[in-house]
Amino acid sequence: MSFWFNLVKDAFLGMLHLLWFGTNLRFGQRRISNYLNIYVKTNTGNTLSVELNPKWDIKNLKEIVAPKMGMAPEDIKIIFAGKELHNSIIIEECDLGQQSVLHAVKTPLKKFKNHDTSDSIEECTSETSDWNNSGSKPMNETLTDLSLDSSDQQCLSQEEQEENRAHFYIYCSGPCKTVTVGKLRVKCAKCNSGAVTVDRDPQCWSDVLEPNRITVHCENDFCPASSIVLSEEEFEITYAHFYFKCAKHASLGEDDEAIPLPLIRANLRNVPCLACTDIREIVLIFPCEAGHVTCLDCFCDYCTVRLRERQFEFDTDKGYYTVPCPAGCPNSFISEIHHFHLLSAELYETYQRFGTEEYVLRAGGLLCPMPDCGMGIIPPTDEEQAKKDDEQRRRIQCIGGCGYVFCRICLQGYHTGKCELQSSDIFTSASSPRNYLVDPLKAKDAKWDEASKKIIQISTKPCPMCRTPTERDGGCMHMVCMRAGCGYHWCWVCQMQWTRECMANHWFG
């Protein structure tokens, strides 16, 4: 009888075990997809990996971290984005991403003056949130609703600010490589530790972009400021270093920074675009006194037209190749060139090339005239040029590029004697029909006759003496001009008279 009882009992327990295992498995799958994998750094230099349920509060986090730090939960305070977090704050309210970094530091001892004696009595706080008035939501959460423009806050009610959430916009250089939403972070300017609490929130972009604007209290035991011994009347001032992180990918650590784009903002005032007059949610505000507003589509169209016509301007004060406000406002150049990442990758590459060419030309340099090269060349200094004769001064070689040797004056293949006038075909769209827009960047490659000229220019070089186009179809670099009355011996590489030095260095290439 007992045998059958035990058999039924074992079968029943086995079924319960299977049901319990299946429930845990389903829960485990749900946990893996919903939980946050974050890192907690302590002020002693240790880093803890913790899995958090977004529905937990900060008190739950302290209970997990405290045993690993060998401390009581009430002796720990959690710092994130420049703020100490209250025990009652829910994890998901902090806008944490995967692999975000929190800081857990020991609660400092509080000093209370004893009125009966002159001695100080040190007591530990029982609850960080009860003693410390700085505990609040993290800075990235409280400032996400602002555009760092105090006038925007004044024109909106509290309900409107909650409904119209503004964001910071950044350029993520990797891995996203795009313009996207960013998060504001802060660390100590002396030790680069994120275990800091700001003395006040930033109120404008100057507070964020300019150094030494806002002070912080650094909780890092290894901070140089904390090791300096000063008198009771003196104290070491520690400033904040603000930076931005991309909100689209998991954090790559505290060194993972993005480039802020302060001209891109949420259109909290519903200002129409100066070009299309549409009211868009996200706009770009030009840095002119009037603050002209344009939607991102019109900004891209404006930059594309100016770029294709090579109408970008060079800001001599800051050394940027950029554009001003399309309304013609003075002092309106865009100084942060990463705003141009709003353009396509192809157009941004063209922008970089044109900007580099403009810099080379302004520095007194030259661009290699060989098709498909365009390498920037900075000629020797005046002192070096003074040691050369006129023929040597005119000879320029594209070093680091295609190796083409050409005349500095006429930009044709290197030659002796005076330069001959060359007919130049300059493209202009003035004669084009108004209803037929031509891309000047592509038009130079769309000429039937120019195609053959380009092939000849690439595959031939002129005789340095008589300028007769010469094609090399093999053999050594020793060329002999076959034109009647010339017969000049020259080097295909140097494009100068053939010498024993040419024979030794590159006779056969």
For residue 321, the tally of other CB atoms under 10 A from its CB is: 21
Cβ proximity of 105 and 134 under 8 Å: no
Cβ proximity of 404 and 370 under 8 Å: yes
> CA 336 to CA 261: how far, in whole Å?
7
- Listing DSSP states for 191-218 in one string gives T--S-EEESS---SHHHHHSSSSSBEEE
Q: What is the distance between the terminal CA atoms of the chain, rounded to a whole angstrom? A: 102
Cβ proximity of 284 and 299 under 8 Å: yes
Handedness of CA 441, 446, 448, 452 (dihedral sign): positive
**HSE value, Cβ hemisphere, 13 Å, CA-based, for 428:** 5
Cβ proximity of 472 and 492 under 8 Å: yes
Amino acid (one-letter) located at 362: R
Question: Of 184, 225, 220, 180, which Cα lies nearest the Cα of 202?
Answer: 184
Pairing of strands 76-80, 83-84: antiparallel
> CA 49 to CA 101: how far, in whole Å?
10
> CA 104 to CA 84: how far, in whole Å?
10
SS (H, E, C) 441-461: HHHCCCCHHHHHHHHHHHHEE
What region, left, alpha or beta, does residue 328 occupy, with left being phi > 0 and alpha being psi -120 to 50 degrees? left
SS3 label, residue 92: helix
What region, left, alpha or beta, does residue 295 occupy, with left being phi > 0 and alpha being psi -120 to 50 degrees? beta
Pairing of strands 110-113, 216-218: unpaired
Catalytically active residues, by annotation: 476
For residue 482, the tally of other CB atoms under 10 A from its CB is: 10
Cβ proximity of 51 and 40 under 8 Å: no
SS3 label, residue 302: helix
Phi, psi for residue 460 in degrees, rounded to 5: -125, 160
CB contact set of 53 (below 8 Å; sequence gap of 6+): 31, 34, 35, 36, 60, 91
